[in-house]
């Protein structure tokens, strides 16, 4: 096992015993949100960061996951929703993504980004108006299955670890190479034997699946959703992009770091700056874009590599002399 795997497992074990030490439900709630946004950031990062297919409407998949769970519970079909039932939300989101991806990925450029944005808005309006199914603007309310926050903490921790491990695994194999190739140059990728439409679709399926699972978890944990919350452009779709960019696009740890910073900052701003919090949040984002254009993890990686190169320079002959 490599050192980084051991470190990750150690960190995971540490996080797993945290509820035994932290009894404060508010702190646990913050941690749960950080982990939930880690899952969301990871999902967006796979498609937008690694595969280069930017989505402005991942709330569509989040909302589908949340409503799948909400509707199932309301109709009494799925008692164990907080556990394996999360899968159903993910599968429903993946199915919807297959449809939109199959249509849009034949085109290049901004079509996909814009169609998903439109999809999220269409779904919000449908959820608002199809009252028999979704209960409209009143939303769906049910009593969460577990009383303790610790149970939810462990579930979302497992989700975060699982999504990270899954994406890491995918990125290490053939799929990962293909995703990166498509991001870098689609023409080139196709001439090297890659069916770009197919592999973009696979990336979208995985991404939408985890987003749907996260939406499903959100419904279970909060016990309440309405169309404006789960299909929100600025609170879900755009925040998924920001969390990823904050932490570092196309990095393993970026989404987790971005999620932690985003949740803690926005909570602190909301508490201390009251109604002015959005202004400061905006300033923070501008600062990060100017000083950490690669995101926090991306910028750190880069400076680490530069240092390593500088240290190694006197020893290595370098390719400049190595070949003509």
Partner 1 sequence: MSLLELKGVTKRFGGLQAVGHMTFGVEKGEIFGLIGPNGAGKTTVFNVINGFYAPSEGEILFKGERIDGLKPYEICRRGLARTFQVVKPLARLTVLENVMVSAFSRTDHRHEARAMALEATAFTEMEAWRDRMAGSLPLGMRKRLEMARALATKPELLLLDENFAGLNPAEVEKTIAIVRKIHESGVTILIIEHNMRVIMTISQRLLCMCYGEKISEGTPQEVANNPSVIEAYLGAAHA
- For partner 1, the binding residues (CB under 8 A) are 172-174, 177-178, 180-181, 184-185, 187-196, 319, 322-324
CB 303 to partner 1: min, Å: 16
Q: Which is nearer to partner 1, 192 or 283 (CB)?
A: 192
Q: Which is nearer to partner 1, 138 or 184 (CB)?
A: 184
Token digits for 218?
């959100």
Report d(CA 215, CA 117) in Å as an integer.
Answer: 17
Specify the DSSP class assigned to residue 207.
H
CB 319 to partner 1: min, Å: 4
Report d(CA 213, CA 198) in Å as an integer.
Answer: 23
Q: Which is nearer to partner 1, 315 or 323 (CB)?
A: 323
Q: Which is nearer to partner 1, 72 or 194 (CB)?
A: 194
Q: Which of 260, 265, 264 is nearest to 281 (CA)?
A: 265
Specify the DSSP class assigned to residue 315.
T
Q: Which is nearer to partner 1, 75 or 191 (CB)?
A: 191
CB 258 to partner 1: min, Å: 20
Orientation angle between helical segments 59-74 and 196-222, nearest 10 degrees: 50
Helix (H, G, I), strand (E, B) or coil at 113: helix
Helix (H, G, I), strand (E, B) or coil at 220: helix
Helix (H, G, I), strand (E, B) or coil at 224: strand
Q: Which is nearer to partner 1, 76 or 319 (CB)?
A: 319
CB 195 to partner 1: min, Å: 5
CB 191 to partner 1: min, Å: 5
CB 248 to partner 1: min, Å: 13
CB 176 to partner 1: min, Å: 9
Report d(CA 139, CA 40) in Å as an integer.
Answer: 22
Q: Which is nearer to partner 1, 59 or 181 (CB)?
A: 181
Token digits for 44?
């967006």
Report d(CA 268, CA 126) in Å as an integer.
Answer: 35
Q: Which is nearer to partner 1, 76 or 193 (CB)?
A: 193
Instruction: Cite the beta strand spans of 112-269 per DSSP E.
Output: 140-141, 224-225
Report d(CA 324, CA 308) in Å as an integer.
Answer: 25
End-to-end CA distance of the chain: 39
CB 268 to partner 1: min, Å: 34
Q: Which residues does residue 287 pair with via DSSP β-bridges, in sequence order?
A: none
């Amino acid at each position: 096992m490599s050192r980084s795997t051991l470190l990750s497992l150690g960190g995971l074990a540490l996080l797993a015993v945290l509820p035994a030490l932290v009894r404060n439900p508010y702190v646990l709630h913050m941690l749960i949100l950080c982990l939930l946004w880690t899952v969301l950031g990871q999902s967006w990062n796979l498609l937008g960061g690694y595969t280069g297919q930017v989505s402005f409407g991942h709330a569509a998949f989040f909302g589908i996951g949340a409503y799948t769970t909400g509707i199932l519970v309301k109709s009494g079909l799925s008692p164990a929703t907080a556990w394996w039932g999360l899968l159903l939300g993910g599968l429903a989101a993946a199915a919807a993504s297959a449809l939109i991806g199959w249509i849009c990925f034949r085109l290049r450029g901004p079509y996909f980004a814009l169609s998903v944005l439109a999809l999220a808005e269409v779904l919000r309006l449908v959820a608002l108006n199809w009252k028999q199914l979704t209960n409209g603007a009143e939303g769906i309310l049910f009593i969460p299955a577990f009383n303790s926050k610790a149970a939810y903490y462990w579930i979302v921790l497992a989700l975060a670890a699982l999504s990270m491990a899954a994406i890491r695994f995918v990125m290490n194999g053939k799929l990962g190479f293909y995703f990166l190739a498509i991001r870098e140059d689609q023409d080139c990728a196709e001439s090297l034997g890659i069916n770009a439409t197919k592999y973009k679709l696979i990336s979208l399926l995985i991404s939408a699946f985890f987003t749907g699972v996260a939406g499903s978890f959100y419904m279970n944990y909060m016990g309440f959703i309405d169309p404006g919350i789960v299909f929100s452009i600025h609170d879900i779709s755009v925040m998924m992009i920001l969390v990823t960019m904050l932490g570092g696009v196309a990095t393993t740890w970026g989404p987790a770091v971005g999620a932690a910073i985003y949740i803690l900052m926005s909570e602190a701003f909301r508490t201390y700056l009251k109604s002015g919090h959005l202004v400061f949040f905006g300033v923070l984002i501008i600062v990060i874009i100017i000083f950490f254009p690669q995101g926090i993890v991306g910028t750190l990686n880069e400076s680490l590599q530069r240092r390593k190169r500088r240290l190694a320079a006197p020893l290595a002959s370098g390719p400049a002399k190595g070949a003509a």
